[in-house]
Amino acid sequence: MKIFVVSEESDNRVAVTPDIAKKFADLTHEVFVATNAGINAGFSDIEYEKSGAVLCPASSGLKGADVVFSINFQKLQYNPGTILITSQAIDLAFCEEQKLTVFALNKIPRTTRAQYMDVLSSQASLAGYKAMIEAAHEINRAIPLMMTTAGTIPAARVLVIGAGVAGLQAIATAKRLGAVVSAFDVRTSAKEQVQSLGAKFIEVDSRETTDGVYAKEMGEEYKRAQEKLLREILPSQDIVITTAQIPGKKAPLIIKADMIETMKKGALIIDLSAQSGGNCEITVSGKTVETNGVKVIGFDNILNIIPYDASKLYAKNVFAFFELLISKMQEQPDITKIDDPILKATLVIYNGIKVDHLC
């Protein structure tokens, strides 16, 4: 197969790293990589060439490509019938027009079998870690308890809202830095995970609960109880990291503007849900806003500042996905007839026809 790896626009990551390009080449695939595609992530063209890839401009890479890998969806001049493996298919009309077959990896189910291919998880882990590192860098005070001859500095208080993949990494990083950490999540199953990291799990006093791996939008009673609790906790916090998401929906609004006014001057909110609407009312995606001495940082893509490892993990995920796809295509060349839950969940368009139209 001819594989092409695109150069991302406005993203420092790359979908396939040189070590993974070599794995494709070892499987006798022809690997083409856009010139400079890995440069911002820390992978030079020479490393790709050493791994057996051919560097070329997008126009020649896309020509005759069987499979194209990208992280962000891009409107390029694809070949009809090309299989595009990307993290999110955002312009289905364009994919239909170009007669593409598209797998959107953000639709990978949260199952044990799928975890090696789960780009959302791998990227969220790094995002959570980096959010805490950025918070430590940005805040005007120290994180751990420090006993000095000039006096004792108390440990910073960190609150993590949403203890999923990103939230748990933020908690673990905050603990390593010596913060006093508390967290909450709508899923009761998060309690044990939070506590196992040595953080305090804050429970919302409500009859409504949810469990499992998929969160749901909570009812009014829960929201009121959560807000009451937050109003009590926020004034004592130095750093708040919000990661709350509901799959397929706008991020829940958790911190209202007037709640920020009760926070300490110099406190910091890092909103990792900024791109899907934000957990904080005043979040602006891609910007830092300040109100009443509290900074709210709305990262639109925090992975841009940790692109080396983010690319490494993404590339491993896509390789695992590709191996699955190829092995199943050998048994059943018609992709729409492959009976595999991961491939079924991620296939959005087949040869220009939306999958729901095929059913």
Distance of CA 172 to the CA centre of its chain: 17
Residue 309, phi then psi, degrees to nearest 5: -70, -35
Helix (H) or strand (E) holding 160: strand 157-161
The answer to whether 38 and 311 are in contact (CB under 8 A) is: yes
Q: Which is nearer to ligand NAD, 240 or 349 (CB)?
A: 240
Q: How far is the CB of 315 from ligand NAD (least distance, A)?
A: 18
- Nearest alpha-carbon partner for 266 in 180, 174, 157: 157
Instruction: State in angstroms the smallest separation of the CB of 210 from ligand NAD.
Output: 7
Question: Out of 11, 118, 185, 271, which one is annotated catalytic?
Answer: 118
Cα distance between residue 282 and residue 273, in whole Å = 12
Give the nearest distance from C-beta 118 to ligand NAD in angstroms.
5
φ, ψ for residue 182 (rounded to 5)? -130, 160
Q: Which is nearer to ligand NAD, 87 or 101 (CB)?
A: 87
Active-site residue, selected from the candidate residues 214, 224, 300, 332:
214
Give the residues lining the site for ligand NAD (CB under 6 A).
Answer: 110-112, 114-115, 118, 120-121, 124, 161-167, 184-187, 190, 213, 215, 218, 243-247, 252, 254
Contact 41/98 with Cβ under 8 angstroms?
no
Nearer residue to ligand NAD within complex by CB, 73 or 222: 222
Provide the 3-class DSSP secondary structure of residue 157. strand
Nearer to ligand NAD, 31 or 186 (CB): 186
* 116 in active site: no
Catalytic residue among 74, 121, 226, 311: 121
Q: Considering the complex, what minimum distance in angstroms separates the CB of residue 174 from ligand NAD?
A: 16
110 is catalytic: yes
Q: In terms of CB distance, is 343 or 349 closer to ligand NAD?
A: 343
Residue nearest to ligand NAD (CB): 164
- Closest residue by Cα to residue 230 from 182, 196, 179: 182
Shortest CB 149 distance to ligand NAD, Å: 42
C-alpha span between 21 and 30 (Å, rounded)? 9
Which residue among 19, 45, 115, 285 is the active-site one?
115
**The two three-digit tokens of residue 238, written as one number:** 């130095």
- Active-site position among 45, 110, 116, 231: 110
Q: Is 146:112 a contact under the CB 8 Å cutoff?
A: no
The distance of closest approach from Cβ of residue 162 to ligand NAD in the complex, given in angstroms and rounded to an integer, is: 3
Q: Is residue 120 within 8 Å of 321, Cβ to Cβ?
A: no
Q: Is 214 a catalytic residue?
A: yes
- Nearest Cα neighbor of 182 from 154, 162, 201, 209 is 201
Our CB check for ligand NAD shows the closer of 143 and 181 to be 181
Q: Which residues are catalytic?
A: 110, 115, 118, 121, 214
